[in-house]
Structure 1
């Protein structure tokens, strides 16, 4: 892979496409993922969200290019580093958006509506909402919830209230960890990178992290309690939450995707949870 291709690939952030696996949660957790045609049926919805997500990542980097120049890692991204011009980045953003919307329409009008809602919130977040404390956390959380609902629509599987609450609180927990990780890593220069960090008084993000983590454990337990064998997965859920908090407070970063890929214990417990859940539901 040459340098030109690589810089464009980095700009699309393919690692973040892991979040789009949330689309497969309704059939997987509902015991339907192995039904004939179900995995293949998820290809188009998954591709639609991958293209849409990359479009929003490009727009976000474009809007943040000046602030990202103060970040020790993000300043090396193609747009803030100057490797890709703003005009070319905007063109790529639009080129990604068109096929994303077309694929969304192929799935269903409701799926397209959820995809458009995701794009609208992401654009508002990139332009202004990321600067507003608390609201920025809810914007990030909405992305996970819309993926979950879109998955339910794509596969024709209703999302239960307890699953909705579990994903909502987990996404808030991860969003808070991401912000706290940024605050710890950047220190006094945090405000130059992200304005919302200036408006979180000392200790507030720690408190929010503890609150949402505890709430996730409660809602997830209530979600699985109807199937007695699944209660044992709560142990793995608890370990994963504790490990993420330890990672954030140790200054290792709070980005959910990076944490999952770089932390061997988090990756292992996530895979073990999926295997245990699958064995109990599909045996």
Structure 2
């Protein structure tokens, strides 16, 4: 049993939380209760398989850099608990399975979203992560393609304000993660991620503040467009969540969005209350 643990860790199951973005279109569109929830299980499983495969490939390429990181050095590949050939074989199986399932059971438009996600993610993993700003836009595109794929899977049209909000939020979180890495690793940051040396001092912090302000504006417009007073009241909650994330980063904690949500009590509570208030505002009135 213990021999399977490193392989499970290699999949990064905690990061599957990001794939719940596929359920945002029906949830926020007010059609989740009328939709066939089971129809979303396959798209979710496919994105979990494919995203895990991308993480594995990234870990293979970054094995040398991760060995210098205070936390990532304990991952299965740097420690040798999983061999590179075994990890590569697992990644190939996951990607091929995801593509096969999508092409066999889901619409062509979903397959297009999945193909773009794979291509951009692989391009990011192999080269684009080395270029300042481009790396942030690549990460953000992953969230946008999940959102679009969810709209396709549930046959829901995504509003313009929701599109902008998700893009800016993902850009904010990506910037925060980079800023956190640069702050925590200090002079050794470039040994872990070369692109961190390309961002001038204070740039990432300013970019994070700018994108946070933009998120608040677009989310406020989205809330107003829904004509729900309760949804409008979630704007201050959103503001608190953004500021809490920024405090967490400034204090030296990890900027990983998934880790921040799961390990930071106030941030987790904010997300939970937000989901309840939005759900009640959309479905309870």
Q: CA deviation at 1:3?
A: 2.2
Partner residue, 2:268 = 267
**Structure 1 runs of 4+ with >3 Å offset:** none
* Whole-Å separation in 1 of the counterparts to 2:101 and 2:267: 33
Q: CA deviation at 1:160?
A: 0.8
Q: CA deviation at 1:4?
A: 1.2
Alignment of 1:165-184 (within 5 A): 165-184=164-183
Q: CA deviation at 1:104?
A: 1.6
Deviation sequence 1:81-110 (CA, Å, 0-9, x none): 211111111111101011111222211111
Deviation sequence 1:47-84 (CA, Å, 0-9, x none): 01000000000000011001111101111111122111
Kept after mapping to 2: 8 A contact 1:71/1:193: yes
Partner residue, 2:246 = 245
The question of 1:193 aligning with 2:192 is answered yes
1:202 is paired with a residue of what secondary structure? coil
Task: Tell me the TM-score normalized by structure 1.
Answer: 0.98
* Whole-Å separation in 1 of the counterparts to 2:245 and 2:19: 20
The question of 1:87 aligning with 2:85 is answered yes
* Whole-Å separation in 1 of the counterparts to 2:219 and 2:113: 24
Q: CA deviation at 1:192?
A: 0.1
The question of 1:70 aligning with 2:64 is answered no
1:83 is paired with a residue of what secondary structure? coil
Q: CA deviation at 1:179?
A: 0.4
* Whole-Å separation in 2 of the counterparts to 1:38 and 1:174: 31
1:251 is paired with a residue of what secondary structure? coil
Partner residue, 1:30 = 29
CA RMSD across the alignment: 0.8
The question of 1:48 aligning with 2:46 is answered yes
For structure 2, list consecutive stretches of 5 or more residues without a partner in the other structure: none
Partner residue, 1:254 = 255
2:73 is paired with a residue of what secondary structure? helix
Deviation sequence 1:167-219 (CA, Å, 0-9, x none): 00000000000001111111000000000001001000000000000000000
Partner residue, 1:104 = 102
1:42 is paired with a residue of what secondary structure? helix
Alignment of 1:113-128 (within 5 A): 113-128=112-127
Task: Tell me the TM-score normalized by structure 2.
Answer: 0.97
Kept after mapping to 2: 8 A contact 1:32/1:38: no
1:225 is paired with a residue of what secondary structure? helix
Deviation sequence 1:22-51 (CA, Å, 0-9, x none): 00000000011111x521111010001000
* Whole-Å separation in 2 of the counterparts to 1:228 and 1:14: 35
Q: CA deviation at 1:235?
A: 1.1
Q: CA deviation at 1:146?
A: 0.2
Aligned residues: 281
* Whole-Å separation in 2 of the counterparts to 1:236 and 1:175: 20
* Whole-Å separation in 1 of the counterparts to 2:193 and 2:157: 37
Partner residue, 1:276 = 277
2:150 is paired with a residue of what secondary structure? helix
* Whole-Å separation in 2 of the counterparts to 1:178 and 1:32: 33
Mean Cα deviation higher: 151-160 or 220-229:
220-229
